[in-house]
Amino acid sequence: MVMLAEIDENNLKLKSIELQQQSNEQLKIVSATAMSKKKTTTTKTTVHSKLNTLALMKKLSEKCQILDDEGSTTIDLTNTNFGPYG
């Protein structure tokens, strides 16, 4: 599962994040690519961490626009049903 997002925090813009299902309620961040607003280069950082699925979705919905494949549509996660997880 790959999601594209933009998060502005401390002059850092998260361009993409790749998530992998680990268990019923855990996702692993496989990799995240971020770019500093002050630089023109993109730095790729790999983060290994387990996050609660609902907590992650809530954080993304609060801080990000999640884009479709065309990169133009904002998906509202407020009332999204995440199957047995929410």
Q: How far apart are the first and last CA of the chain?
A: 18
Residue 86, classed as helix, strand or coil, is coil
Mean pLDDT of the 49-74 span: 52
Mean pLDDT of the 11-19 span: 60
CA-based radius of gyration for the chain: 13
Q: Is the pLDDT of residue 41 over 50?
A: no
- According to the model, what pLDDT value does residue 1 have? 44
Q: Is the pLDDT of residue 82 over 60?
A: no
Mean pLDDT of the 29-57 span: 50
Mean pLDDT of the 51-67 span: 55
Q: Is the pLDDT of residue 59 over 60?
A: yes
